[in-house]
A and B are shown apart, each in its own frame.
Chain A
Amino acid sequence: MKSLKMAVACISILAMSAMAMAGTLDDVKAKGYVDVGINGSLFGFGMPDEKGEMKGLDVDTAKAIAAAVFGDASKVKFTALTAVQRLPALQSKEIDVLCRNTTQTLSRETQSGLNFVQPNYYDGQGFLVPKALGVKSAKELDGATVCVLPGTTTEMNAADFFRANNMKWSPVVIENTAELNKAFFAGRCDALTSDLSQLAGNRSVAPNPADYMLLPEVISKEPLAPVVRHGDDQWFDIVNWTMFALIEAEELGITSENVDEMLDSENPSIKRFLGVTPGMGEMLGLDNKWAYNIVKQVGNYGEIFERNVGPDTPLAIPRGLNALWTDGGLMYASPIR
Chain B
Amino acid sequence: MGIVAVDKEAIRKMKPPVVHRGAIGWLKDNLFNGVFNSILTLVFLAFLLRFVPPFIKWAFIDSVWFTTGDVCKECPGACWSVVLKNLRFVIFGFYPHDLHWRPFGAMLLLFTLLFFSYHKRFWSKKLGYAWIIGLVAMGILMKGGIFWLTPVDSMKWGGLPLTMILSVFGLAAAYPLGVILALGRDSHMPMIRYLSIGYIEMIRGVPLISLLFMSSIIFPLFLPEGVTINKILRAQVAIILFTAAYVAEVVRGGLQGMSRGQYEAADALGLNYYQTMRLVILPQALKIVIPPTLSVLISAFKDTSLVVIIALYDFLLTSKTVIQNPEWNGFSTEMYLFVALMYFLGCFSMSNFSRKLEQELDTDKRS
Contacts and interface: CB of A to CB of B under 8 A. Distances in A.
Interface of A: 8, 11-12, 14-15, 19-20, 22, 40-43, 47-54, 77-82, 84-85, 88-89, 91-94, 176-179, 181-182, 201, 204-205, 207, 314-315
A176 B320 contact: yes
Given A15-B221, A92-B221, A93-B228, A41 B324 contact: yes
Lowest 4 CB-CB distances: which A-B pairs, in order? A314-B326, A92-B220, A205-B329, A15-B221
B155 interface: yes
Nearest to A185: B330
A54 B325 CA distance: 13
Nearest to A13: B221
B88 A43 contact: no
Contacts, number: 110
B324 A178 contact: yes
A204 B326 contact: yes
A53 B89 CA distance: 9
B85 interface: yes
Given A19-B225, A20-B225, A52-B92, A43 B220 contact: no
Interface residues of B, number: 43
Contacts of B225: 19-20, 22, 93
Interface string B307-339: 001110100010011111111011010000000
B43 interface: no
A178 B329 contact: yes
B95 A15 contact: no
A77 B153 contact: yes
Contact of A48 (B94, B218, B309, B332): B94
A20 B226 CA distance: 10
12 contacts: A15-B222, A43-B324, A51-B88, A52-B96, A52-B156, A85-B216, A85-B310, A89-B220, A92-B228, A176-B320, A178-B324, A207-B73
Nearest to B100: A52
A15 B224 CA distance: 9
A11 B323 CA distance: 36
Contacts of B86: 50
A52 B94 contact: yes
Contact of A82 (B92, B309, B323): B309
Given A50-B89, A314-B327, A40 B221 contact: no
With most chain B CB atoms within 10 A of its CB, the pick from A14, A19, A47, A52 is A52
A51 B330 CA distance: 21
Interface in B92-138: 92-97
B127 to A, nearest CB: 34
Contacts of B330: 178, 181-182, 205
B209 to A, nearest CB: 11
B231 interface: yes
Contacts of A314: 325-327
B254 to A, nearest CB: 37
Contacts of B95: 52
B325 A94 contact: no
B313 A40 contact: yes
A11 B218 CA distance: 8
A89 B323 CA distance: 26
Contact of A41 (B94, B156, B320, B326): B320
A259 B309 CA distance: 42
B89 A79 contact: no
Contact of A88 (B155, B221, B317, B332): B221
Contact of A177 (B97, B231, B310, B324): B324
Interface string B172-198: 000000000000000000000000000
A78 B89 CA distance: 16
A92 to B, nearest CB: 4
